Amino acid sequence: MRTWVPLTVSMLCGLAWAGNLESCASRCSEQFDRDSACQCDHRCPEHGDCCDDYELLCAAEEDSTEPEPFSEVEEGAPDNSLYSAPSSCQGRCREAFDGHHACHCHDRCQESGNCCEDFESLCGNYGGFSHSSDTITEEELQSVSEKIYRADTNKAQKEDIILNRQNCITPSETGDQVDHCPNLLFTYVNEKLFSKPTYAAFINLLNNYQRATGHRELFNAQQLAEQDIFLREIMKTAVMKELYGFLHHQNRYSSEQEFVDDLKNMWFGLYSRSNEEGDSSGFEHVFSGEVKKGKVTGFHNWIRFYLQEKEGLVDYYSHVYDGPWDSYPDVLGMQFNWDGYYKEVGSAFIGSSPEFEFALYSLCFIARPGKACQLSLGGYPLSIQTYTWDKTTYGNGKKYIATAYVSTSTQ
């Protein structure tokens, strides 16, 4: 079993900050304190500025408390007012354990005696649900993520991208909105990458959205066809075949067509983040980016970043996290201004193929919806956080993707 270790100083890159670590003793659940060298508030895992003993002292304390609605971790995740801990298994059969829920619908809830009252009637015959093999273990997630990592033959090679990371700041400085980097992040990108079928299909989707929430998305026939083209192209790749084979073996999908149909719904299905029906989707939020209440939300894709930076619409400010990978895909946690709107903490894979990101985010949303999903890439641990959209559903109570991103918290 993999041992999860704290991020190194070089990853968090604030030497002065990292050399003055404090403790979370008697500080769990406190508010963010700009004067503290490290934090113990509920958002510190997202910002990567938790004290070393946060997991030991605070995570255990949170797990022991009464279930309550989850807190918003990223602007763009569901509003608290839209979420309440469910008391039914409607649309939740096979759902991963979530400590915020008062009752559960996973295959071992009967052993624990904490199933919802309608578990038997709704989930008892849910496609072999009662078999323990339907539970995806941590070891299985790490194994399949390594296989997906090795299968990403469309990723950028070292010579395809030259990054100019420039200045690294401490997590406490991210709210200052100061441009610490005068030069572009991307010094060079080999745009021949973008002629590959999955890249081309992905790029065609990026400009199909209005970035401001509260404006209904209206797709023409060509734009709807582009969604199908993208799904068709990525399903030809070894990355997505690896993912489907794994989920099929786990009894999550009986056919590839069922899998593709579900991907289309969970990623491209429209819902409302504001007052307009159908103004957002998981794909728009995560890959294209949105603006809500004067802030950038989502926008976790390096291709979108590069293209917008090339057009002069993105201004790279700084970074707080640089992943341990010495080849692509890598991970960068950064701050930037998008045509007048600030992104305080934005993590993104760098140099990965579109299908790679789509596969890992989908895997984690299916296996660990609303929870941290611990993966392994090239021998290094990686955590992905997803959230479900709980105000509206599709199909038999299935959830849309609210957001998905690489978490730069310490493990």
CB burial class (10 A; 0-12, 13-18, 19+) of residue 158?
exposed
Active site annotation includes 104? no
DSSP code, position 131 = S
Q: Is 335 exposed, middle or buried (0-12, 13-18, 19+ CB in 10 A)?
A: buried
- Tell me if 401 sits within 8 A of 266, measured CB to CB: yes
> What DSSP letter does each residue of 72-95 carry, written as one string?
P-SBTBPPGGG-----S-TTTTTP
Catalytic residue among 42, 101, 319, 343: 343
Quote the CA–CA distance of 317 and 338 in Å, as a whole number.
10
- 8 A C-beta contact, residue 58 and residue 28: yes
Residues 6+ apart with CB under 8 A from 272: 278, 279, 280, 391, 392
Unique residue bearing structure tokens 């056919």: 255
* 293 part of the active site: no
Backbone angles phi, psi at 188, to 5 degrees: -155, 140
Q: Which of 300, 319, 371, 399 is catalytic?
A: 300
Environment class of residue 322 by beta-carbon count within 10 Å: exposed (0-12), middle (13-18) or buried (19+)?
A: buried
The β-bridge relationship of strands 341-350 and 290-292 is unpaired
The helix (run of H) or strand (run of E) holding residue 139 is helix 138-151
DSSP 188: E
Q: For residue 249, give every residue at least 6 positions away whose Cβ sits within 8 Å of its Cβ, in sequence order, or none.
A: none
Q: Using the structure block, give the residue that is written with the tokens 């980016």.
A: 289
Which member of 285, 319, 371, 399 is catalytic? 285
Q: Does the active-site annotation cover 343?
A: yes
Backbone angles phi, psi at 347, to 5 degrees: -95, 150
**CA distances (Å), origin 148, targets 30, 94, 233, 387, 407:** 39, 23, 16, 22, 19
Supply the DSSP string of 293-358, one letter for each residue.
Answer: TTEEE---BHHHHHHHHHTT-EEEEEEEEE-S-SSSSEEEEEEEEETTEEEEEEEEEES--HHHHH
Alpha-carbon 127 to chain mean position: 28
Q: List residues with catalytic annotation.
A: 285, 300, 343
